[in-house]
Structures are given as C-alpha cells and as structure tokens.
Copies of this chain bind each other. A is one copy, B any other.
Amino acid sequence: MIDYQLIPPILGGAGLLCAFFIYMLVMRYPPGEDAITKIGDQIHLGAMVFMRREYTMLAMFAAAVLVAIYMSPLGTNTALAFLIGALCSATAGWLGMIAATKANVRTATAANTEGAATALAVAFYGGSVMGLCVASLGLIGLGSLYLYFGGDAHTAHAIHGFGMGGSVVALFSRVGGGIFTKSADVGADLVGKIEAGIPEDDPRNPGVIADNVGDNVGDVAGMGSDIFESYCGAMIASIAIAATFTASETQTAMMFLPLALSSIGLIASIIGIIIVRARSGSEPGQALRSGTIGAPVLFVIAAYFLIDGMGIERGVWFAVLSGAVGGILIGLITEYYTGGVPVKKIANSGETGPATVMITGLAVGMQSVVLPVLFISAIIFFSTQQAGLYGVGIAAVGMLSTVGITMAIDAYGPVADNAGGIAEMGGMGKETRDITDSLDELGNTTAAIGKGFAIGAAALAALAIIAAFVETVSINKPDFSLELSDPMVLVGLFIGGAIPFLIASITMTAVGDAAFEMIHEIRRQFREIPGLLEGTAEPDTARCVDIATTAALRRMLLPGAIAVVAPVVVGFTLGAESLGGMLGGGLLGCVLLALMMANAGGAWDNAKKYVEKGNLGGKGSDVHTAVVVGDTVGDPFKDTSGPSMNILINVMAIVSLVIAPLLSSS
C-alpha cells in the first residue's frame, strides 16, 4: 500500500533535479561584460538583501504563530506541518529568486550577442526554475506529510498546517513584495524621470536598482508564493473533504488523488517546458503558447486514465476538466480586458484629460469582473454537479496541477523586463533593446493571463478550503449550518465583505507612504553626492534597496496581522457560523476586488504603452500626461492591493480550517 504514496515526493525530488539542471543551463550562458555583470550583481544582491530581511522578519512572525499552534490543542503535528509548509514555500521563493536574478543579466547579454531566440530561451529557463521549484517543493512537502500523517484520521488534520505555513510566507512575499516593488518604482520614476529629467533605468538614478529588484521580489517571489499557496491549498482542501467521506477503498483513492494529479501535472509541465524550448526558434509568442496549452492538454488526458485506473467515478475527471479549461478561459478574458478594445477606449478617453481616464478605467475594471465570476460560477456548478463539494477542490487541483509551466511563463515576464532594464543601464544599443522590448511585451501579455489565472485559482482554492472548513466543523458539530438567513452568518458575511476593502485601502496607502521615503532618499543622494548627475560618482543603490525594504516590511505587518487574526477573533467570539459567513463574504469581496484592481491596473498600464507607441499624440502629449495618471493609480492596483486579495482570502480560509476542530468542540 505504501509504495504508490512514495511517488509524489519522489517525483517532486526529480522535479527539483530538473530545476537544478535548468539552473545550470542558465549559468552556462555568459553574464556579459564587466559593467553588465556588475549591474546584474547589484540586482541579484539587492534582491537577496530584501529576501534575507523579509525572511528574518517572516521567521519571527512564523515563530510566534508556531508557538501559538504548539501551545493550542492542535499540538505538535500541526506545528510541524506549519513549519515544513513555511520552509517549502520560502525555499521555493529563494531558489526561484536566485535563478531569476541570474537569468536576467544573461538574457540581456544573449539578446546583445546571440539574438532573440537565445534570449527567449534564457529568460524562459530563468522562469522555469521558479515554476518547477514551486511545483516540486509543494509535492515534496505535502507528499511527505501525507505519507507520515495521511493514513490516520486522527493525524490527517495536521496536514492543514502545511497550507497555513505556505500562506504566512505568501503574506510576506506578496504583500511585502508588492509594497516594495511599487514604492521603488514610483520613487525612482518620480525623482529620476520627472525631477532630475534623466531617462528610465538610467544608472545614475540611485533608485533604479531597487526598481529592478522590485520586479523580482514582487512578480517572481511574490507571485510564486501566491501560486504555491493556492496549489497546496487546493490539494489540502480536497484531501480534507475526502477525509470526511465514509472510509472505503474509493475514499482512500480520493484522498490520494490530489497528490496523484499534481504528480502527473508536474510531468506534463516538464514536457511543456521542453516543448517551449524546442520551439523557441520559431515565433516567441507561438512557442510560449504551445507550452501553455500543450501541458494542460497532456495533463487532462493523463488525468482521465489516472482517475479511471484508480477506480474513481468519471464525474471527478469532469471536475478536473472544468478547472483546467476554466483557468485558461479566465486568463483569456483577463487578456482581453488588459489588451483589447477596452485599452484603446481608455487611451481615447485621455483626450478629455485624466479624470475621464480614471472613470473609463474604473468602469473597465468593474465590468471585467462579470465574465470571470460567471466562469467561476460555472466551474462551481459543473464540478459540484459531477462530484459534490469534492468536485470544487478537484477542479482547483485541475486548474493548478500544471503550475510548473504556468508559473514558468509568469516568471519569464519579470526576467525579460529586467533584461530590458539591464540593457538600458548597460547602454547596449537599440537593436538589443528592441529584442528585450519584444520579449518584455510578450511577458506583459503572459503576466496578464497569469494574473487572471492566479485569481481564479486562488478563488477556487479558497472555496475548497472553506468547504473543507465546513465539513471539518461538522464532524464534531453535526447541526452546523451556514444558513444565509441566520443572523450570525449574515453578520459574518458583512464583516468578511468589508475586510478586503480595508486591506486594499491599507496597502494602497502603504505604497504611497513607502514611496515617499524612497523619494526622500533619492533626492538626498542627488543633492549630497557630488558628481552623481554628471556620471562621475556612483549612487548608493544598496541604501535605496534597504530603505524600500524597511518601509515595505514595516507596512505589511498590519494587513498581515489582520488577515491572520481576524478569523481567530471572529471564530472564537462570534462563533463558527459567523466565521463561515465571514469566509463567504471575504471570498466574494476578495475575488471582485482582485479582478477589478488587476484588470483596471493592467488596462491603464497598457493604455499608457499604447500612447507611448505614438498613438494619439504619443509621448509628451496631453493624452500621454492623462494616461500616465491612470498608470500611476493602476500600479498599486495591479501589483500591490489586487494581488494581496488572493493571499488575504486564502490566509483567512486556511487559518479557519486549522482552528476548525477547536471551534466545533466548543
């Protein structure tokens, strides 16, 4: 019996080896001339400084949570799982970060010396390491815990702690990273471009390294931890739901199925990565697309045989299918709203000034929630018709199983973006810049799809965790019900709905405040370092990284604490019914705000780029000034507050699931 349960962690180990192998491939490419290497090193070291500081703070926060769990009736097992979850997620972020920051400079050099195909390959390799690390470490960690705890109903609950560990890391990486990246971006742009009048990514700007570091910590490490959380959350929730079924051979199979699906998803992802590599000589967009589509298709086919072979009903496979298809569709809608007609409409509205850019962009963002929400509803409807609440969990697993390649393509974006920045800073010339620009543009599209996908996945994963929460509470409290007409549920629903608005407000304000500290420091350096503007002296870029780090980490504590503490407070004061209602309201609020903010932000960003390409008067025109306002508002929308919503709901859900046994025994 034990043998097949060994497969997930072993496959995870193999995935890590693949990641290491790809990392070695990246390192075989030359980092370039000394000046270029130096810029690359600065970004790499800056990113590592941020990661180290972030992880130090995270370690303290996690230690406090760990002690709380250990002291609670949840005990050693949950505490152990929590620790392993946090370690796995943190390690994935760390490794992915090293690879991404090594790949960016090599991508720039490859673009300079070898051309687009090689540059694409290097950038994609860089992202692939992150993708494979997320998928592999998830499988290793969760697979091992399952092996250790899964067989026994008394210990199986401990696995939830793993999800909570991953969530706490995500909280720091995504929220902290989000504040860092945007405050650095805004600070560098404002003082450099507007006040000092030097171009973007100019090496004289003390904030420019921090800006590039931000792309990595926000979009690579932050996104990775976000996806890791959803990926493991979906598996944990499905296992938890299956655990409440009556014991039987099928039940055992259904408990193990999420891990099995993710295992074949990892294999499909590795094949997808090979496909992209093999086709990277052809049109880059085509190459990436063949991998993004190829891997899920392979996965869904393999899943059919797997489910059939495990003796599980076919309905479960349909749930897998609905998740996999739904994820792609939600991504495509996001691509439309952040790249299609709506973007031109926003740009056109710039002719009547910034106010209409704001109104149009907000209207686009609000409208853009409708279709994804209908698709999520359709997935819920379809998957539960096929396999009950377990179906929702499995649909989420289906959406997230090929995370290896999805995340690889996501992380490719910031690597290409960084390569462009390095090419600019290193003065590599127009031809190289054209290559990196085209790679970057492609990255923006993939990033938009990735963001939509991440929201859909987070929503389904959270929903599955909430379902698991309900089932877990019900075990000891058979009359437990979440009636919408129960006042306690309603009260929870309202509180839950307000929390996303509160967190969005706090994080948006945090970006502004942290940017203010950056602005202050960059101004100081321009003022106090003689010869800086003339290019005869060097800026103290490390200090800017340091200041943005401190500012970001200090400001992420409040939203982080709210996310972790709110479910505990509501659960133990108002009760499990209110907590359930709160999760429902929170889920709804988070999904709606996440979609609105991500899509409005993405659309504003691309409206600006559309104008900068020379449309409607191009750079320097009044329309440009108007769309720049939109982009500035969109920055914290799409890169800080919006993505925080994914984390928020998952943290609240997983904390609730972890404390569920304590609530139901009261």
Contact = CB atoms under 8 A, between A and B. Distances in A.
B483 A360 contact: no
Contacts of A502: 366-367, 369-370
A580 interface: yes
A585 interface: yes
A354 B629 contact: yes
Contact of A380 (B355, B381, B494, B596): B494
Interface stretch (A320-328, A419-427, A503-511, A534-542): A503-511
B633 A497 contact: no
A498 B373 contact: yes
Interface stretch (A272-280, A410-418, A484-492, A520-528): A484-492
A330 to B, nearest CB: 13
A592 B483 contact: no
Contacts of A366: 501-502, 504-505, 508
B369 A491 contact: no
B377 A491 contact: yes
A362 B585 CA distance: 21
A196 interface: no
A389 interface: yes
A115 interface: no
Contact of A493 (B349, B359, B501, B584): B584
B584 A501 contact: no
Interface in A353-408: 353-356, 358-360, 362-364, 366-367, 369-370, 373-374, 376-377, 380-381, 384-385, 389, 392
Contacts of A170: none
Nearest to A345: B509
Nearest to A376: B494
A588 interface: yes
Nearest to A364: B505
A189 to B, nearest CB: 11
A358 B596 CA distance: 16
A498 B370 contact: yes
A529 to B, nearest CB: 24
A495 interface: yes
Looking at A504, A505, A508, A636, the one whose CB has the most chain B CB atoms below 10 A away is A505
Nearest to A628: B355
Contacts of A481: 481, 483
A615 to B, nearest CB: 20
Contacts of A467: 485
B596 A508 contact: no
B359 A494 contact: no
Looking at A363, A380, A381, A384, the one whose CB has the most chain B CB atoms below 10 A away is A363
Nearest to A389: B485
A373 B499 CA distance: 10
A359 B633 contact: yes
A458 to B, nearest CB: 14
Contacts of A632: 355-356, 359
A470 interface: yes
A292 B367 CA distance: 39
Contacts of A352: 190
A14 interface: no
A233 interface: no
24 contacts: A355-B628, A356-B632, A358-B629, A359-B509, A363-B508, A364-B505, A366-B502, A369-B498, A370-B498, A370-B502, A373-B495, A374-B498, A377-B491, A377-B494, A381-B487, A482-B483, A484-B489, A484-B580, A493-B588, A494-B591, A497-B589, A497-B592, A588-B589, A589-B592
